[in-house]
Amino acid sequence: MNFHQMMQPRQRSQFQAVGEFLYIEACPDSVAITTERGEYRLKQGAQILDPQLTGRVTVENMGEAGTVTIICGFGRYIPPTDGQEVSVTKMPTVTLSPNQQVNIGQLPHKWH
């Protein structure tokens, strides 16, 4: 289960973690994390890796009021890198069969 909550300074909340990693996706400054196996003080982007992480987790917001988002799961979490661009250097050849028609009115207008 992931955690996403607006928290006041020094506010505590608990949730049930399931997995092997706990990743701090967002927090105002830092958060104090207490698991059944230890205590941590983490900033945004930090991660706990523990094959026996599953269990109750206590989160305390150590910064100003703001949203705290924590992602839990199995394996190791690799967050997306903001600002990366995809450069297409080569496109495959497109061949239409004889008498095949393409209706450009049904093509998507925006790429997501």
Residue 38 lies in a domain: yes
Shortest CA distance to 50 belongs to which of 30, 65, 62, 33? 33
Q: Is residue 32 part of a domain?
A: yes
Query: What residues make up the domain containing 18?
Result: 2-73
In-domain check, residue 80: no
In a domain, 35, yes or no: yes
Note whether residue 24 is domain-resident: yes
Asked if residue 19 belongs to a domain, the reply is yes
Domain count, the chain: 1
Query: Residue 96 domain-assigned?
Result: no
CA dist 1 and 82 (Å) reads 24
> What CATH number is attached to the domain comprising 51?
2.60.120.10
pLDDT by residue for the chain (112 residues), tens digit each? 799 999 999 999 999 998 999 999 999 999 999 998 899 999 999 999 999 888 999 999 999 999 999 999 998 888 777 656 656 666 677 777 787 776 666 655 555 4
pTM over 0.75? The answer is: no
